[in-house]
Every structure is written in structure tokens, then in C-alpha cells.
Amino acid sequence: MAKLSAEYLLTKLSDAKTHFERALDCKHTEFDDLYPYMIEHPQFFWYKRYVAWSELLTIVKLSEELEIDWKGNFTEKQAEYVESRVMSSRVLDEWYETNDSKEHVS
């Protein structure tokens, strides 16, 4: 089995961050394709965000175990949220830090 490279893991981390941000912004993700019937249910967007957050935390955990610096892809506040591991309303409301300078994903 090939070893994971730091570059590969950082690419996956960037993908997971984008996935989480798309879920935050209620944009289409591959989760929508996997569970199209869920769109009809009110809890869908919460669950979609939870799945994306879990993916992000998993890749951060792997990065830490492999001693790969993952924080460079995040603002200081975002890194703090990830380190706390809890997806709170504060994370959802303040991920982009200010409403004036949101860097929403496309």
C-alpha cells in the first residue's frame, strides 16, 4: 500500500473544506446526489452540514496523526472551530467571520 503524501492529504482537506462551505451556503454537494429524497425533509440541510463537518474533522484528524500542518487552509478562527470539534450555531453563523466579507465558495 502506498503511503499518503502530505500533498494528497492537503488536497483532500481543501476538498472537505469546500464541501463544508458549500453545505453551509446551501449549495449543491455530492450528498444531494446520494440522497435526493432528503431535500423534501426539513432536517436535510442540518444533516448535510453535519456530514460535511464530520468529513472535515476526519481529514484534520488524519493530518494531525501524520503530523501534517492543516491550519494553513483556514483562518485563525476557523482553525479554532475545527479544533473544538463541535459544530455549534456559532460555527455556522461565524465561519466566514463577518457578513461584510464572506468568501463564499462558488
Residue ranges per structural domain of the chain: 6-101
Residue-wise pLDDT for 48-90, tens only, equals 899 999 999 999 999 999 999 999 999 999 999 999 999 998 9
Q: What is the pLDDT of residue 29?
A: 85
Residues 33-60, mean pLDDT to the nearest whole number? 87
The proportion of the chain whose per-residue pLDDT surpasses 90, expressed as a percent, equals 60
Taking the alpha carbons of 39, 52, 7, 95 in that order, is the dihedral positive or negative? Answer: positive
Query: How sure is the predictor about 15, in pLDDT bands with cuts at 50, 70 and 90?
Result: very high
pTM: 0.82
Distances (CA, A) of 94 to 28, 77, 88, 98, 101: 21, 9, 10, 7, 11
d(CA 106, CA 98): 18
